[in-house]
Amino acid sequence: MTSHNSENSLRADELMRDASAAIKLASALAAWERTFDAIGNIVTIMDGNFKIIRANKAAHCTLGAEPGSLIGQYCYQAFADLPTPCEGCPGTNTLEYGRVSSAEIHHGKLGKTFLITTSPLADEKGEFTRIAHIAKDITEKLTMERRLLQAQKMAAIGNLAGGIAHDFNNILTAIGGYVQLILLKSGNDQRISQDADQVRAAIKRATDLVSQLLTFSRQTEHPKKSIQVAPVVQEALKLLRASIPASIELRQSLDSAAIILGDPTQLHQVVMNLATNASHSMLEGGGTLGVSLREIAIEEYERRPQLTMLPTGRYLCLEVSDTGCGMTQEIVGKIFEPYFTTKEIDQGTGLGLSVAHGIVSSHGGTINVYSEPGQGTTFQVYLPIVDREPDPVAEPAVGAAMWGGSEQILLVDDEESIAELGREVLTFYGYRVTVRCNGVQGLESFRKDPDRYDLVITDLTMPAMNGLRLAAAVKALRPRTPVILCSGHSEITSKARAEAQGIDLYLQKPLDMTELVQAVRGVLDRTV
């Protein structure tokens, strides 16, 4: 009897141990399942044919699938609707060589790019017949990297553009100045006048091109004021409506009265560029061009992937959309590069969007673009809103009369052709002009007889002594002597900073000789 009871007791102990082990196993399995489902990245276990054996919660959520419904499906079918494994799939290498492998795969079905990592899993016999497949969504990371690369590229090209602009503006000043001088000396010769007009038109186009380069590189400053954007957009669309075919429907929603700090001329240029590009994409088949304004608030707790480069705050969103041909992601990645264009030869310079990008960036905003081939394109421009009243609209300036004079002028410019041109033009109008080709020589001449000179005109960028230093020395010797500072391009100063440092007038090259003579007379008259 005792032996029988002992056997029963042993069996009971075994059953309890088995039950305890089963409970522990079930608990461990449940914990593993919870851990598996808690992983934020997509995790699947697949057999040697890429058939899904297990899939975590993130996999089902990302694919919009019901829990458990992915089991038994092939990976490439579930993720990409493909009949065979994705091109470049790292799982192929893992199965063949039994090692960890990774690759970036873009899934058009999801519109996302994933970093795929596959690892071999051994079965009970130690053979690698299964793989662990982990997919991390890196779409936002790649977007940020592209934006950073784009910003670095724009900065590098901008520095180059600025240097070219300085030299080019000097050349244009000389060409334009001598054309004007020829006209002054030729009297009323109609043939010379007509030829000169063609040259001046070419100079104007070249000047506009330089201005676009500097705007794109954000190396030129434009005065900004408090403005409502809606009237600027309305004016641009009014001009555009007359030039687009009737097959394109123009829809606009411009109810916002938000105020931004900006340059209306530059914003008009942005709207015209975006809307014109949109209309060009629909020239053949027609479509709808939509332009809208709306206000949004960017808060820290709800950062949107496409707006992570903007500080929190209130923004005005200008949206320009079309139902045209759309673009591939490869083209979208290049559209803001200078001189990149999809248009035919002679139909575009490729500067439009790069200039628009520079303008928006200089206003503290950003541009986002969304496009798919055959699905149209949407540009969204975000501009920071300010809490202030709009500045009054200035009345058109009345053209000033141009007078000559007999005052003594010291003209300093390291470009000999420009210095001599200035001497000849100013002498033509009766002024007495002394020319020096660098700041050191100019200061020596002024120091010898400060009372001799009624005005100093100096270039800004010169070797040894730049125009700002020369102006400061002139003012120290004779404070009432007016100084006109000229610049083709510079990171050293701007009009506002120059005038704050005592400069009487700041002129931007290329100089129009008529404007120069008017400016000289105006400054001299103010200091009498």
In-domain check, residue 115: yes
Domain end point (choices 92, 118, 137): 137
Residue 123 pLDDT > 60 = yes
Does one domain contain both 296 and 359? Answer: yes
Q: Provide the residue type at 174 as one letter.
A: A
In-domain check, residue 390: no
Maximum mean pLDDT: which of 34-38, 224-228, 250-254, 331-335: 250-254
CB atoms within 10 A of CB 23: 10
Residue 128 pLDDT > 90 = no
Does one domain contain both 146 and 130? Answer: no
Does one domain contain both 78 and 130? Answer: yes
Does one domain contain both 242 and 376? Answer: yes
pLDDT category at 345 given cuts 50, 70, 90 is very low
Residue 40 pLDDT > 90 = no
**The pLDDT of residue 487:** 82
CATH number, domain at 39? 3.30.450.20
**The pLDDT of residue 4:** 57
Domain end point (choices 114, 137, 160): 137
**The pLDDT of residue 280:** 86
Does one domain contain both 160 and 285? Answer: no
**The pLDDT of residue 21:** 65
In-domain check, residue 67: yes
Report the alpha-carbon distance of residue 336 to residue 147 in Å, rounded. 11
3-state SS, residue 335: coil
Q: Average pLDDT in the 459-468 region?
A: 88
Residue 523 pLDDT > 70 = yes
**The pLDDT of residue 432:** 93
**The pLDDT of residue 396:** 38
218 or 483: whose pLDDT is higher?
483
Domain end point (choices 216, 244, 259): 216
**The pLDDT of residue 288:** 92
pLDDT category at 28 given cuts 50, 70, 90 is low
Half-sphere exposure of 484 (CA within 13 A, CB side): 28
Percentage of residues in the chain having pLDDT higher than 90: 20
Does one domain contain both 429 and 512? Answer: yes
**The pLDDT of residue 439:** 92
Does one domain contain both 168 and 186? Answer: yes
pLDDT tens digits, one per residue of 180-204:
777 777 766 777 777 777 777 777 7
Report the alpha-carbon distance of residue 75 to residue 71 in Å, rounded. 10
In-domain check, residue 328: yes
Mean pLDDT of the chain: 80
DSSP-assigned states of every residue in 382-433: EEEB-SSPPPPPPPPPPPPP------EEEEE-S-HHHHHHHHHHHHHTT-EE
**The pLDDT of residue 395:** 44
Report the alpha-carbon distance of residue 176 to residue 417 in Å, rounded. 12
Q: Which domain holds residue 270?
A: 225-384
Report the alpha-carbon distance of residue 218 to residue 198 in Å, rounded. 30
In-domain check, residue 370: yes
pLDDT category at 205 given cuts 50, 70, 90 is low
In-domain check, residue 399: no
Residue 77 pLDDT > 50 = yes
In-domain check, residue 398: no
DSSP-assigned states of every residue in 198-215: HHHHHHHHHHHHHHHHHH
In-domain check, residue 4: no
Does one domain contain both 377 and 286? Answer: yes
Q: Average pLDDT in the 442-469 region?
A: 92
341 neighbors 390 (Cβ within 8 angstroms): no
Residue 98 pLDDT > 70 = yes
**The pLDDT of residue 447:** 94
**The pLDDT of residue 289:** 94
Does one domain contain both 515 and 380? Answer: no
154 neighbors 213 (Cβ within 8 angstroms): no
**The pLDDT of residue 350:** 43
**The pLDDT of residue 346:** 42
37 neighbors 29 (Cβ within 8 angstroms): no
CATH number, domain at 420? 3.40.50.2300
Find the range with the poorest average confidence among 250-264, 322-336, 405-419: 322-336
Does one domain contain both 46 and 158? Answer: no
Residue 158 pLDDT > 90 = no
Does one domain contain both 303 and 415? Answer: no
CATH number, domain at 261? 3.30.565.10
Of 222, 209, 310, 312, the closest CA to residue 267 belongs to: 222
CATH number, domain at 175? 1.10.287
**The pLDDT of residue 1:** 52
Residue 274 pLDDT > 60 = yes
pLDDT tens digits, one per residue of 351-384:
567 778 878 888 889 888 998 888 899 999 999 9
Does one domain contain both 278 and 380? Answer: yes
Q: Average pLDDT in the 106-123 region?
A: 85
3-state SS, residue 78: helix
Q: Average pLDDT in the 137-162 region?
A: 72
Q: Average pLDDT in the 326-344 region?
A: 71
436-445 in b/e burial notation, b at 16+ Cβ within 10 A? bbbbbbbbeb
Residue 497 pLDDT > 60 = yes
Domain count, the chain: 4
